Amino acid sequence: MSEFEIRIRKVQKKDYKKVIKISIDSFPEEDAEEIITSLFEIEHFYVAELGEEEVVVGFVAFGIYSIKTIHIMILAVESAYRRKGIGSKLLERVIEITEMLPINLMRLEVRLTNTAAIKFYENYGFKIAGTIEQYYDDLSNAYLMARKKEKT
């Protein structure tokens, strides 16, 4: 349960520097600025901010492909705010949006060594669907994880 009031909203230009900082903190082996710059204009890019202070502490970006699949490209939470429900709120927003669309599948990639993220996604019904060789800039491998839409 979160001890903070967390608000999820669309990313804004004023968030750029903070999102870059969180990305560098979360993915130091990647070129954070290049990644975030390329994602900044996509339709589904959301930040998590804390209550009245409006401090951005996390973000998620995803794309919709072939009208039936969502690809979560990046989800990150500032290290000081991890394990406080912020990542869950971000992922739950993605799932909410998914439920409103004719989406059958959600997918993402996660570094094989990122056991905390793997467990986090498994708690939301994602399963390891395969391995992608040399996926990251440092040529390390990734798991492809997928979650099928729950039947109602």
> What's the rounded mean pLDDT across residues 61-82?
91
pLDDT confidence of residue 56: 95
pLDDT exceeds 50 at position 2: no
Q: 36, exposed or middle or buried, with CB in 10 Å at 0-12, 13-18, 19+?
A: buried
Per the prediction, the chain carries an average pLDDT of: 89
pLDDT confidence of residue 33: 80
32 vs 5, 22, 96, CA distance in Å? 27, 9, 27
pLDDT exceeds 80 at position 152: no
Task: Identify whether the C-beta of residue 50 lies closer than 8 Å to the C-beta of residue 57.
Answer: yes
pTM of the model: 0.90
pLDDT exceeds 80 at position 52: no
CA 90/CA 88 separation, integer angstroms: 5
User: Which is the CATH superfamily of the domain at 6-148?
Assistant: Gcn5-related N-acetyltransferase (GNAT) (3.40.630.30)
pLDDT confidence of residue 90: 97
Give helix 115-123 / helix 86-99 axis angle, nearest 10°. Answer: 40
pLDDT exceeds 50 at position 1: no
Instruction: Give pLDDT tens digits for 89-135.
Output: 999 999 998 888 888 999 999 999 999 999 999 999 999 999 999 99
The domain segmentation of the chain, as residue ranges, is 6-148
